[in-house]
Chain A
Amino acid sequence: MTAPASIKTAYDVEKIRKDFPILNRQVHGKPLVYLDNAATTQKPLSVIEMEDRYYREMNANIHRGVHLLSQESTKAYEDARVTIQKFINAASSSEIIYTRGTTESINLVAQTWGRKNIQAGDEILISHLEHHSNIVPWQMLCEEKGAKLKVIPINDRGELLMDEFKKLVTSKTKLVSVGHVSNALGTINPIADIIHYAHEHGALVLIDGAQSVAHLKVDVQKLDCDFYAFSGHKIYGPTGIGVLYGKLALLNAMPPYQGGGDMIASVTFEKTLYAKPPHKFEAGTPHIAGVIGLGKALDYVTAVGLDAIAAHEHELLVYGTQALSQIKQVRIIGTAAMKAGVLSFTLGEIHPHDIGTILDRQGVAVRAGHHCAQPVMDRFNIPATARASFALYNTKPEVDLLVAAVHKVLEVFK
């Protein structure tokens, strides 16, 4: 049997690579092998050119000017909101709030919804896998309110213990805030089950989508999550722009985030009436170029297709896991049954920082450290890992170069 031609031609990684100018560059005289995509992704030409074109041709402040440039930039800014709405299948573009990134999105919920709704004795539930940005804002809120932060434990593969999760959800639980995909280990969490169970028990759910939105199809209505947060720069868009999705009824009831221009309906010294969502949460002149660039990035991902991207990255993960596992000193940290394209590993007694340096000199960019997830490192009794993380433009020959570079590390430390 032969595969249909459409499957063979469906994913042309070499064609995709041509869209990312930075992939042509060399580092330390070697071709760049960029495997630090969980930290940030590279940008396609369409995003770079859009940012450039915005400043060359359209730059003006939004929502104010009667002049043409302001009208054009406002349209582009609001069109991007619709692009984002469609990308995650939100019910309304009013549910899409622009932030600086996932971190600010989570802080926004903690500072507005949280400060209004969390009281002494309430509980907020997170997981052991969380990035610091989904730990610290809740710690700050709990400390302020006298509420309690509880943590869903994980097993040795880096999977959430769902039985323990169910035991931890009580009538005091007001919010469950968990990552969709672990940045440190790659675990894909069963968020549909988590959301369903939490809702049955009267708790809201925030999903930290920083590591998922570029790799898995997300449908916020189908998931029925209450909030979904993600960053533009991890999905081939600019840095400094992110998104908070929130159900409109919740957003309507939430107090504003920051005060200032653009978030008001009217202001007198006696009383200010706030604008409706999303503008209620967007005080001040925003990152207009970033928003428009993010829209272009999502267009790019949609054109390639998230299912195709997920399949390609999964193939790299399987290939890389197998290749690295051949090296006897390698210990892969995070072996969940459901995993995104993240390969976290240690190499005997060699510190990940040393691995990172030697890999870098061979052109291979990985992250070495605790990945802003120190509790995960503590759980596995290690200070840090080296982490290779895949994106839509990575290839099997690049994985081979990673493996060869790891052998070089062993040679230096033999």
Chain B
Amino acid sequence: MSDFSDLYQDLILDHQKNPRNFGSLPDANHHADGFNPLCGDKISLDMKLDDKGVIQDIHFKGSGCAISKASASMMTTVLKGKKVEEAEHLFHEFHDMVMGKIDKAPEDLGKLKVFEGVKEYPARVKCASLAWHTMDAALKNEKDVISTDDGKGSEG
């Protein structure tokens, strides 16, 4: 038992050790790259959407800290099968949660609520949200690398 269980919860440590949906998607139709210049975290995100706007598949690659890796991994497991609008909705809820903008994490975030502890660690908010910003950019197919320092993800 450590003093850090609020941040490094077992589920987070599990996902960082064994990231799900890790790799690239050869038939992706949405893609974006994200970068956190503060710590050098990098993520490359591939998504495959069908013509109804449902996320058929989503994969990520990259290197980063435990929080950014686990956040990306868990995001992919949650978003598979979701509609674009649902994904955007979760992004906003997740963002508000880690920023500490809401007192209690919304129930529909489900297991993503394990990241609620991040709000107590302002220096780590960008780590948790990098994957989500990158996902948002991928949906919009933005060409530029998404940086947490360019105002796009200017938390913390």
Contacts and interface: CB of A to CB of B under 8 A. Distances in A.
Given A351-B64, A354-B66, A413-B66, A368 B39 contact: yes
A361 B4 contact: yes
B64 A408 contact: no
B3 A354 contact: no
A358 B41 CA distance: 18
B2 A412 contact: yes
B123 interface: yes
Contact of A353 (B3, B8, B42, B127): B127
Interface string A318-357: 0000000000000000000000000000000011111011
Given A357-B7, A411-B2, A352 B121 contact: no
Contact of B2 (A352, A377, A408): A408
A369 interface: yes
Contacts of B63: 383
Contacts of B151: none
Contacts of B145: none
Given A361-B3, A411-B2, A412-B4, A369 B66 contact: no
B83 interface: no
B28 interface: no
Interface residues of A, number: 21
B112 interface: no
A352 B4 CA distance: 16
Nearest to A408: B2
Nearest to B64: A351
A358 B4 contact: yes
A369 B39 contact: yes
A357 B123 contact: yes
B124 interface: yes
A353 B123 CA distance: 9
Interface in B26-76: 38-42, 63-67
B28 to A, nearest CB: 24
A221 to B, nearest CB: 40
Interface of B: 2-4, 7-8, 13, 38-42, 63-67, 121, 123-124, 127
Interface of A: 350-354, 356-358, 360-361, 368-370, 374, 377, 383-384, 408, 411-413
20 contacts: A350-B66, A352-B39, A353-B41, A353-B67, A353-B124, A356-B123, A357-B7, A357-B124, A358-B4, A369-B38, A369-B40, A370-B39, A370-B40, A374-B40, A383-B42, A408-B2, A412-B4, A413-B8, A413-B13, A413-B66
Given A353-B127, A358-B4, A383-B39, 5 more contacts: A351-B64, A361-B3, A383-B41, A412-B8, A413-B13
